[in-house]
Amino acid sequence: MRGVGRIGVAIFIMTLTPGCAFYQSLIARFRPATPESQVSSTIQSTLEPKLDAMDNRLDRIEQMLTDVREQGRQQQIQEARSQQSLAGLQQEARSTRVAVISLRKLLATQHSNLVARLRETAAEPSADFWAVDIPMGTLPNGGQNHQVRRIPAQVPDNAREILVYAQVATGYVKGGPHRFRISVRVQGDREAAFYLYAVGLPQPSWAYNSDNVWLPMPQDRQIIVRTEGEPFFGDWNSEVRIVGYR
């Protein structure tokens, strides 16, 4: 009986020893479990800052994408406007070029017709007139200073009068109103003159003015040209010619 009693005491002691597996499982059954709400609260408190940081980063990325898209749209609008402006300038340049070509043809035709009429008139036996075609340069651009053009020897000293042709054409040009004066000295400071009027405006069109006037043959054999107005800046042209004498 004593042996049996000792064996029972040993088994009881092993059962209650903390290192024993049976003891651990027995203690775990009676220990209170951690509540799920406390675990969830811990996880939430840990993840919320990370989620907030991720939301902030996503917002910044979306704003950056929005800004990039807006910049692209503005750039497309600006490129479209630039293309329209370029197309307009190209069309204007083509129209101006065509107008210049047409004007030159018209002036050349008028000059040829004038010379032909003068030669026909000079060919008549009763006409005391001789046709010539002598370039005398262009009209001055602007300012009060005059220019002197010497009449060449094609016009003899015994000529009484000279027929002077002058023309001016203005296109896309700045400068405002101009008055061109073509004159010769008659006696002392006295001058015989005629005038051409032209206006410079920045517009895609051309205007021209021309005239033929008989002037006395000057003893100093000089034609004086002067322009009143600011200098032209742009497309314009002019010329002065002697187309006859008598």
pLDDT at 150: 97
| pLDDT, tens only, 210-235 | 999 999 999 999 999 999 888 888 89
Of 226 and 23, the structure prediction assigns the larger pLDDT to 226
Q: Where are the domains of the chain?
A: 129-245
Q: Look at residue 57 and tell me whether its pLDDT is greater than 50.
A: yes
Our CA dihedral for 83, 86, 91, 92, rounded to 10 degrees, sits at 140
Interhelix angle 2-16/21-30, nearest 10 degrees = 60
- Cα Rg, the chain, nearest whole Å: 53
pTM: 0.50
How many CA atoms lie within 13 Å of 110's alpha carbon, on the beta-carbon side? Answer: 14
**SS3 of residue 91 by DSSP:** helix
Please say whether the structural domain 129-245 has been given the CATH code 4.10.780.10. no
Angle at 221 between CA 220 and CA 224, to 5 degrees: 95
Mean pLDDT is highest, among 43-47, 74-78, 109-113, 237-241, for: 237-241
| pLDDT, tens only, 154-205 | 999 999 999 999 999 999 998 888 899 999 999 888 999 999 999 988 888 8
CB 139 within 8 A of CB 208: no
